Amino acid sequence: MKCKRCRRAEAAVDLPSHHAAFCTDCFFLFFRRQVTEGIRKLRLLAPEDRVLVCVSGGKDSLVLWDVLMDEGYETEGLYIDLGIDGYSDRSKEKVLAYATSRGKTPIVVDLAKEGIPIPEAARCVRMQECSICGTVKRYFFNRVAAEGKFTVVATGHNLDDETARLLGNLLHWQRDHLARQHPLLPGTDEGLVRKVKPLWRVSEVETAAYGFLKGIDYVTEECPMSEDATSLVYKEALSRIEDRMPGTRIVFYKGFLDPSNPLRKGPEAAAPADAVGTPRACAACGAPTYAETCSYCRMKERVRKARSLRAAPVSR
Ligand code: SF4
Ligand code: ZN
């Protein structure tokens, strides 16, 4: 099959959802155009932005960093070492190797050194790893960005991630979550840095193809904690629908983002669901919060208490 764009070279990537197939060079153009259109349409980034790209070692975040650098944005990478045996070391290796190949040194936050490695913290407080991980990652994304004077934090969530989240929110009628779901969460004067998801228009398959054809070496294994993640069930369901009806995912998500959709309040609804009043500084760390202390500090305190209880000798 010939490339649908240049009509000369053999097609290397077949994209049924776009009724297209492209040779490698035309696919690079197509993919980058999808990302830049996604950025332009929702005004995610400005040319003068300093972008902190959160990189996990997986394909999405490394591809995002690659595209943003190629598009001329000023970027630095942030890697958070979650302290997951084996997996974290392998992911970090990929991040460091990629960064070196582009003349960069990523910022690394080591959760073991911060006293909150995810698996051990989850055991201590008997919570799901992913809920702790979400809180901790969000905290460091914002803290590193604020301390480093970045104007925006970018994550590698793609169309599959966003539609799986949307389906989950709809199935459970999570109205607050639906109101806030958007590829752009604006910053606030109180210290929340703007957050964007520039890959919202491209699928997981397209991102993987871009990474592979570009020769980006990423970690292919899933995080071992993701096995029970319900988001994988939603992704699988949407993949089956997409296989039978190509293009459904993007129609689903674009329809949701339509400003006339009453379920969505838009990027201005950035405050968390439990937010009451105006944000203030966390009494322990100074991060923006709606409570006395931020959710990260509260979590860390719970882990500290659980650890000291475990360490205390049992009295008879
Ligand atoms: Fe964190 Fe869970 Fe994702 Fe693993 S699967 S990186 S623990 S949120
Ligand atoms: Zn705090």
Chain segment 71-120, per-residue pLDDT in tens? 999 999 999 999 999 999 999 999 999 999 999 999 999 999 999 999 99
Tell me what the pLDDT averaged over the chain comes to: 93
Query: What integer is the mean pLDDT of 142-163?
Result: 97
Which band of pLDDT confidence, cut at 50, 70 and 90, is reported for residue 200?
very high
Nearest CA, atom 6, ligand 1: 223
Give the distance (Å) from ligand 1 centre to CA of residue 307.
22
So what's the pLDDT on residue 308? 85
Query: Hey, whose CA ends up nearest to atom 7 of ligand 1?
Result: 130
Confidence label for 236 from pLDDT (cuts 50, 70 and 90): very high
Pairing relationship of beta strands 50-54 and 280-281 according to DSSP bridges = unpaired
Q: What is the pLDDT of residue 190?
A: 86
* CA nearest to 294, candidates 146, 140, 109: 140
First to last CA, the chain: 77
Q: Which ligand is nearest to the CA of 84?
A: 1
DSSP 8-state code for residue 95: H
Q: Evaluate whether the domain defined by 45-216+225-278 bears CATH number 3.40.50.620.
A: yes
pLDDT higher than threshold 80 for residue 314: no
CA of 115 to the centre of ligand 2 (A): 14
Q: Does the pLDDT value for residue 315 go beyond 60?
A: no
Q: In the prediction, which pLDDT does 296 show?
A: 96
How far, CA to CA in Å, does 269 sit from each of 26, 64, 131, 266? 38, 25, 22, 6
- Per-residue pLDDT at 275: 57
Say how many Å lie between the CA of residue 121 and the centre of ligand 1: 13
Pocket of ligand 1 (CB under 6 A): 118, 129-130, 133-134, 223, 225-226, 229
As a whole number of angstroms, the distance between CA 177 and CA 152 comes to 21
Among 133, 140, 231, 232, the mutation site with the greatest number of ligand 1 atoms within 8 A of its Cβ is: 133
Q: What are the residue ranges spanned by the domains of the chain?
A: 45-216+225-278
pLDDT of amino acid 216: 97
Confidence (pLDDT) at 183: 97
